[in-house]
Amino acid sequence: MLIRRLYIAFIVPFLFLRSIDANTFGFKPDGSNYYKTVSEATDGTIQILVEDDDGVAGFSLNFQIHVDYTTNVSTTNWSNGSSGNGHYRDWNPSGVSWTSDNTATHPVTGGYLNASLITSGAAPYWQISLFATSAGDMTYTLTLPIFDDKIYEGGTTGTDEQINFKISNVLAGTLDSDADEFSYRINDNDLVPYYGFAQTSAQSFDEGHNTNDDGDGLSFALIPLANPADGVVYAVGTNSFVIDWTITDGTTTSGDYSAASGTVTINEYGGGGDDNESAINTSKLWWERDISLTMTDDDVDEPDTESFTITISTSDVNDGQIFGDNNELSVVINDDPDDLAPYVRFISASQYVDEESSKVTVPLAKL
């Protein structure tokens, strides 16, 4: 009886020690670094290394991978209008794919790998269960779908946008505390955007007309245009782009329109870009880039037409440029045909004045 009790007392602690001697895992460094910089044009990868070091062939892991927007703050957007820079998403978490260095011995299908994406909170994360029956260490690779958009985010010399990953909430396995974080950095490959008037011909408006929301590409609407360096149309990205406009009178005066100058601020949302890899849509949200100006209905008889020139320029050259052929428009204001020449009459039929007076005021009335 004593021997049996000693045997049980020995084997239980042994099993307990075996159960906590779990397999070690964590992010695999890129060389010696727990970060990597990849061009926006590439769907890059991050890797998880599992060390089969518990003395039993195979392993069973359960953990979460979070995109960090709290501590090591990510600057990319995972959905439109999320916590990163700008507005449009930079990558697609739901399109992440998995593989292993040897899918024959360590498959990622058939229940060996389950990666459930949760997007109900402020930041996405994956709930991971990873199972293997074969012995040996294994590297698992996650491919990240990065949008090769045409939205300017500083270009190749700008600040890389980051997706900062963190492993946490480990339920099975031993996390290497030195390998619990990895930073994936996206290097922008776009050129600076150019903007200009959609119209190039002279514009004509009647008195009283307001150009606000005249229509896509009409009146004083501004559109993204091709960068002369490569002929590709790019749009404003992370940093807003400020355009100045000013009026130079021809035969008009400042009283013939509602304002002589102003600014248009174009941000990523209204710049013409999108959350995919398609070409820039110059019609998208065009009203976000519209100059609103009212031609004064002044009830004054004037020449049939009066003219001015409206010009756009910018000092914000790091965030955008003005295309030279589309920076100026000639504008004609058509006088209201109901504005007739005024008629006047004497108020009194006769006026008397003392012959010693040097002058007299004769009042008139407008008809």
Q: Report the pLDDT value the prediction gives residue 39, as an integer from 0 to 100.
A: 97
Q: Are residues 178 and 292 in the same domain?
A: no
83 CB-contact burial (10 Å; exposed 0-12 / middle 13-18 / buried 19+): middle
- Identify the band that residue 366 occupies on the pLDDT scale cut at 50, 70 and 90: low
Alpha-helix runs per DSSP H in the chain: 2-20
What is the chain's mean pLDDT, rounded? 89
Residue pLDDT, tens place only, 3-23: 444 333 333 333 333 333 469
pLDDT at 282 over 60: yes
Q: Are residues 38 and 182 in the same domain?
A: yes
The answer to whether 233 and 226 have CB atoms below 8 angstroms apart is yes
Q: Are residues 44 and 123 in the same domain?
A: yes
Residue pLDDT, tens place only, 75-109: 999 999 999 999 999 999 999 999 999 999 999 99
Query: What is the residue type of 144?
Result: L
The answer to whether 298 and 256 have CB atoms below 8 angstroms apart is yes
Per the structure, the complete domain to which residue 60 belongs is given by: 20-187
**Residue that is last in its domain, among 148, 171, 187:** 187
Residue pLDDT, tens place only, 332-348: 999 876 655 556 566 66
Q: Report the pLDDT value the prediction gives residue 205, as an integer from 0 to 100.
A: 97
Q: How many domains are contained in the chain?
A: 2
Q: Are residues 159 and 200 in the same domain?
A: no
CATH number at residue 167: 2.60.40.2030
Q: Are residues 170 and 226 in the same domain?
A: no
Query: Residue 170 falls within a domain, yes or no?
Result: yes
Q: Which helix (H) or strand (E) holds 320?
A: none
Q: Are residues 138 and 112 in the same domain?
A: yes
Q: Report the pLDDT value the prediction gives residue 299, as an integer from 0 to 100.
A: 73
Query: Residue 4 falls within a domain, yes or no?
Result: no
Q: How far apart are the first and last CA of the chain?
A: 129
State pTM to two decimals. 0.83
Query: What is the residue type of 275?
Result: D
Handedness of CA 132, 135, 137, 141 (dihedral sign): negative
Q: Are residues 35 and 166 in the same domain?
A: yes
Which comes out higher in pLDDT, residue 344 or 116? 116
